[in-house]
Structure 1
Amino acid sequence: MRFASLGSGSAGNALLVERGSTCLMLDCGFGLRETATRLQRLERSPGCITGILVTHEHGDHVGGVFRFARKYAVPVWLTHGTWVATGESHVGLDLRIIDSHHALSIGELEVQPFPVPHDAHEPVQYVFSGAIRRLGVLTDAGEVTPHIREMLSACDGLVLECNHDARMLAQSIYPASLKRRIASRYGHLENSVAAELLGSIDCSRLQHLVAAHLSERNNLPELVTAAIAGVLGCAEAWIGVARSDTGFGWRCLN
């Protein structure tokens, strides 16, 4: 199993998870042409995509999903709340409603959704499994719940939101209402909260850790890697950081 990112941040998000002939895209916040360009960078084309999984209805995650699905005739898996919130019709789409607690099999991958606290209608994140390897993904969550800890423990790979630094957010030019939303329990994970999560779960199998969904205005990669390295006791250079423009390249779970 391997994974890569087309981009991660407020401008758009998309992650690829691949095993054998199955290649799933998690979210798609880019237009058709931009998505194709970013896929090409990863030596993939739209025709390689088996289907799309959606986390929630915010535009940076779902903005390109339905146009892509229509054009390339791929199924889309999403919660009922997310579907209702998008207002998207079934016409021309293969939409498959999922339960946020029930696993599903898609080709050569097992996919386990799990609910997260975020300011959306029925948001989920996912754990992908192939053979004995597990990839956990957590972005767009305002706080860490016991269930999140359970889901992400003993993963071989993690893509983990490190959205903002508390001090930078407090000192930013954002309106007070936006600062409260970001820092709330339905907002986004702060660096130290993400680090605390890692310190509270089993990371003994971790081969890859990539920090994702960094705020371009309220965070810095060096703040993220310092916070995480201090908890894991690893070199800062070992920690990957997803970029908004290029995401990150393929990483294999062996």
Structure 2
Amino acid sequence: MKFASLGSGSEGNALIISGTSGTTTTTVMLDCGFGIRETERRLTRIGKLPQDINGIVVTHEHQDHVGGVFKFARRHGIPVWLTYGTFQAVGEEACKGVQLHFCRDSEALAIGDLSLMPYTVPHDAREPVQYVAGDGRRKLGVLTDAGQSTGHLVQALGGCDALVLECNHDRQMLADSAYPPSLKRRIGGDYGHLANDTSAEILAALDKQKLKTVIGAHLSLKNNTPELARAALSGALGAHPGEIRIACQEDGFDWIAIA
């Protein structure tokens, strides 16, 4: 297995996961918050074409995650997996002409050589989920767009070989920001986004026996810094901050193999 990011942040998100078994390769896109041409451009950067994508899996209906999903899927004939709550929030009209598959918490879905397990997270969306992807030997856990830790998500992410973990904001930077009070409450609330310290607490609570790779993701451009995110995660891992990678909005990150 390997994975790469086309971009991570409030302006657009897309994570590419690829698994190979024998002579076959399966590649899925987790969310697509970019327009068609921009998605194609970013795919080219990591050596992929739209026809290489076997499926798009959606976490929730916010535009930075779902904004390009259905247009891209319709253009290139790619099936889409999402929860029924997300479908209701997006609306039937937006999904026309796209092959849809519904998924739900704790029921694994199979796409070619990959298996993806959805798990519910606390976020201000209709039926939000995140995913653990595996190929039968290795597991990649993904957690963004959650406001707090839960026993359910900690259990779901235990035993992963690699982890993409939201570090959206530093609490003091958010408090001192020019954001209106209502937006500060939303972001910092129980159904908003993960602060650095909460992400570190989640990481500390996980079964990390197999964990070798951690990526900090979905950083706020105004209310966080890569240095603060790295410091929080490295503290929970007992690692040097330089060992923690950070996904950025413009470039995401290039392919990372899960050994």
State the distance in 1 between where 2:11 and 2:192 align.
17
Structure 1: state its 5+ residue gaps: none
**Aligned pair 1:136/2:141, yes or no?**
yes
Tell me the residue number matched to 2:219: 214
CA offset at residue 131 of structure 1? 2.3
The residue identity in structure 2 corresponding to 1:214 is L
State how many pairs are aligned.
254
Say which SS state the counterpart of residue 10 (structure 2) adopts. coil
Tell me the residue number matched to 1:51: 55
Tell me the residue number matched to 1:231: 236
Tell me the residue number matched to 2:88: 84
Matches within 5 A, 1:88-237: 88-89=92-93, 90-237=95-242
Say which SS state the counterpart of residue 101 (structure 2) adopts. strand
Say which SS state the counterpart of residue 41 (structure 2) adopts. helix
CA offset at residue 191 of structure 1? 0.1
CA offset at residue 78 of structure 1? 0.1
TM-score (ref. length: structure 1): 0.99
State the distance in 2 between where 1:101 and 1:130 align.
17
Q: What does the per-residue CA deviation read over 1:11-55, in whole Å, with 9 as the maximum and x for residues that have no partner?
A: 000000000210000000000000000000000011100010000
The residue identity in structure 1 corresponding to 2:247 is A
Distance 1:22 1:190, change over 3 A: same
Say which SS state the counterpart of residue 15 (structure 2) adopts. strand
Tell me the residue number matched to 1:31: 35
State the distance in 2 between where 1:101 and 1:80 align.
14
Say which SS state the counterpart of residue 133 (structure 2) adopts. strand
Q: What does the per-residue CA deviation read over 1:120-156, in whole Å, with 9 as the maximum and x for residues that have no partner?
A: 0000000001122110000000011000000111110
Tell me the residue number matched to 1:3: 3
State the distance in 2 between where 1:173 and 1:88 align.
37
Say which SS state the counterpart of residue 221 (structure 2) adopts. coil
Structure 2: state its 5+ residue gaps: none
State the distance in 1 between where 2:3 and 2:228 align.
24
Tell me the residue number matched to 2:64: 60
Runs of 4+, deviation exceeding 4 Å:
none
